[in-house]
């Protein structure tokens, strides 16, 4: 069976263009793959077009709008998920323009399908005392507890994403002075993040105990399970949940749900509260756009209040007298 033009172009997009030219991670390729799997299923179920017969001529802006509507109404996707799916579709048809310029108008109409406006959630973070409490909970008397203490401390200290954390290998760390870690983030962009002495000491102790400092271990995953395979995202999430429950559950400032990303938000907020400028925080977190870092400046109500209090007020003082002190409102108005 001869593949359709859509099948051929999609294969090139996923297998060659994204990893080869865009240099995206395998996780991003899988995310894009899932979007087009859903689109193929939609076209077959709703339009009666099986994947082996689906050509580019059958995909227009109307089909994409129908697909997005299907995601929201049938699959109950939230607006942000709907927008993420649309971003992947836009990326594919932007790529398709250079391959099939004769279909430029069709592709540009698809790329003109707009994103839906959504309210950006406020970053949820832990206070400094809460972070200190969580990091003190792993049992230092057990090997598992020492590993988890090193993991949680490194995750908070660096503000690493969970995927960045589990992708770390022994060779990515330098524990001699000045201690730092090389983190590979989105788009396979690497950044160097300094380690505080206490965290470097915990990680060094863990590496020595796990025999990761022996010859031939430099490419071994830094954090691994009982089979010595690198930890999964769900494994890290389990560790975070295990140690992050509030002891009495009555502290309203303690977030109801704590995830690995909460540690990243917490580090960013604490850096901001310590007076660090946004570009420095951006470099530590690995944000490609400083707008992403700016969400933390919007999240801290106390910082906003303190900033306003430090700013001179130009509001005129209330008059010492009041019309209530006069015999009547009319007399008070005449006195103005």
Q: Is-catalytic flag, 85? A: no
Q: Is-catalytic flag, 264? A: yes
Q: How far apart are CA 304 and CA 311, in angstroms?
A: 11
Q: Is-catalytic flag, 287? A: yes
Helix (H) or strand (E) holding 223, with range, is none
**CA-CA distances (angstroms) from residue 202 to 53, 153, 267?**
57, 8, 18
Exactly one of 82, 149, 270, 287 is catalytic; which is it? Answer: 287
Q: How far apart are CA 158 and CA 137, in angstroms?
A: 19
Encoded tokens for 213 = 């400092």
Q: Is-catalytic flag, 291? A: no
Give ∠ CA 310-313-316 in degrees, rounded to 5.
160
Exactly one of 147, 161, 265, 267 is catalytic; which is it? Answer: 161
Exactly one of 264, 265, 267, 270 is catalytic; which is it? Answer: 264
Encoded tokens for 2 = 């001869």
Q: Is-catalytic flag, 296? A: yes
**CA-CA distances (angstroms) from residue 235 to 93, 169, 171?**
36, 17, 22
Q: Is-catalytic flag, 314? A: no
Exactly one of 186, 204, 220, 233 is catalytic; which is it? Answer: 186
Yes or no: say if 143 and 206 are a contact pair by the CB < 8 Å rule: no
Exactly one of 99, 174, 182, 261 is catalytic; which is it? Answer: 261
Yes or no: say if 164 and 263 are a contact pair by the CB < 8 Å rule: no
User: Using H for helix, E for strand and C for coil, what is the string for 84-95?
Assistant: HHHHHHHHHHHH
Q: Could you give the residue numbers annotated as active site?
A: 161, 186, 261, 264, 287, 296
């Amino acid at each position: 069976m001869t593949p359709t033009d859509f099948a051929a172009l999609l294969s090139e997009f996923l297998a060659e263009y994204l990893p080869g030219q865009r240099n995206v991670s395998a996780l991003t390729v899988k995310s894009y793959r899932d979007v087009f799997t859903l689109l193929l299923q939609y076209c077959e179920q709703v339009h009666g077009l099986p994947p082996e017969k689906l050509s580019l001529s059958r995909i227009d802006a109307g089909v994409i709008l129908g697909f997005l509507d299907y995601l929201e109404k049938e699959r109950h996707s939230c607006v942000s998920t709907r927008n993420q799916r649309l971003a992947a579709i836009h990326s594919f048809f932007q790529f398709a323009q250079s391959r099939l310029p004769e279909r430029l108008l069709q592709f540009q109409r698809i790329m003109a399908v707009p994103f839906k406006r959504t309210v950006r959630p406020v970053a949820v973070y832990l206070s400094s005392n809460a972070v200190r409490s969580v990091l003190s909970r792993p049992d230092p008397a057990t090997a598992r507890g020492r590993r988890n203490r090193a993991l949680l401390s490194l995750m908070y200290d660096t503000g690493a994403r969970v995927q960045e954390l589990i992708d770390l290998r022994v060779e990515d760390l330098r524990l001699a002075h000045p201690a730092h870690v090389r983190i590979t983030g989105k788009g396979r962009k690497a950044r160097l993040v300094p380690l505080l002495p206490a965290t470097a000491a915990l990680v060094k102790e863990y590496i020595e105990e796990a025999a990761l400092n022996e010859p031939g271990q430099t490419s071994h995953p830094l954090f691994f399970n009982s089979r010595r395979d690198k930890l999964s995202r769900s494994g890290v999430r389990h560790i975070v949940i295990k140690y992050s429950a509030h002891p009495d559950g009555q502290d309203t400032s303690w977030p109801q749900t704590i995830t690995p990303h909460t540690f990243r938000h917490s580090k960013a907020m604490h850096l901001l509260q310590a007076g660090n400028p946004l570009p420095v925080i951006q470099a530590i977190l690995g944000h490609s756009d400083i707008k992403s870092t700016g969400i933390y400046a919007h999240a801290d109500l106390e910082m906003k209040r303190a900033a306003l209090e430090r700013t001179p007020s130009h509001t005129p003082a209330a008059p010492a007298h009041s019309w209530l002190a006069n015999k009547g409102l009319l007399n008070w108005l005449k006195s103005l």
